[in-house]
Amino acid sequence: MRLVLLGAPGSGKGTQADLLKAKYNCVHISTGDILRKNLREKTELGLRAEAFMNKGELVPDDLIIDMVGEKLRNDGAAGGFLMDGFPRTVPQAEAFDKILNEMECPLDAVLLIKVDEEIIVRRLTNRRTCRACGKILNLLSAGAGTGKCPACGGEIYQRDDDCEQVIRNRLDVYREQTEPLVAWYESRGLLRVIEALEHYTPEDTFKGAEAALGL
């Protein structure tokens, strides 16, 4: 399965990627996670990306395209992948197409996760992340108050870009720069849609996603 997960920040792409990965055994590629790792390790890429990320702006296309190209060429794409957080602009989608064509690994589908914006703001202001393994937790859900990651015992922290002002900016950036990809992929016959309603659990959304993808 070669799949792109598309959706606003906080729409649950990472959570759905975890569920898909566990069941269908494919590589999860999160550009946000790769960037945050580079930031922690203070690589040249990390240092160049940091200011953009802290403001909720997009990291420039050429940096991201090189980063993803290298990752795909190293890991191979033939065995399947879940792209989470990429592409985020039309130029990124065009470059991605080119890389996949060269590797003779075209996309199977693009899954759009639709979520109401106010739900997203509520979710992201309550989101916490494990510094060690990247697991995503929510203060509103049970068992989150321990301060330790339930998966690995790592330290739980709040991402710098998960404060309300930066969240609103990330949503504006999504609307302006990423949402055009919905039509772009629709016109290529690749778009599948799951609407994640307010009362949905991650598992409900997952079932809907499987149905939308014909799995």
Binding site for Zn ion (CB under 5 A): 130, 132-133, 135, 149, 151-152, 154
CB of 32 to ligand ADP, least distance (A): 2
The gap from C-alpha 111 to its chain's centroid, in whole angstroms, comes to 11
61/175 Cα distance (integer angstroms): 17
Considering only residues 59 to 118 of the shown chain, the ones binding ligand ADP according to CB under 6 A are 59, 64, 85-86, 88, 92
From the list Zn ion, ligand ADP, none, partner contacted by residue 88 (C-beta under 5 to 8 A by kind): ligand ADP
Contact letters for ligand ADP, residues 23-42 (x by CB under 6 A): --------xx--x-------
Determine, following the binding rule CB under 6 A, whether residue 184 of this chain makes contact with ligand ADP: no
211/207 Cα distance (integer angstroms): 6
127 catalytic per annotation: yes
188 catalytic per annotation: no
Of the candidates 69, 112, 70, the residue with the CA atom closest to the CA atom of residue 92: 69
29 CB contacts (<8 Å, ≥6 apart)?
Answer: 68, 71, 72, 75, 81, 82, 83, 84, 86
Q: Tell me the chain's radius of gyration from C-alpha atoms.
A: 17
Catalytically active residues are 13, 88, 127, 159, 170
Residues that bind ligand ADP (CB under 6 A): 9-10, 31-32, 35, 52-53, 56-59, 64, 85-86, 88, 92, 161, 170
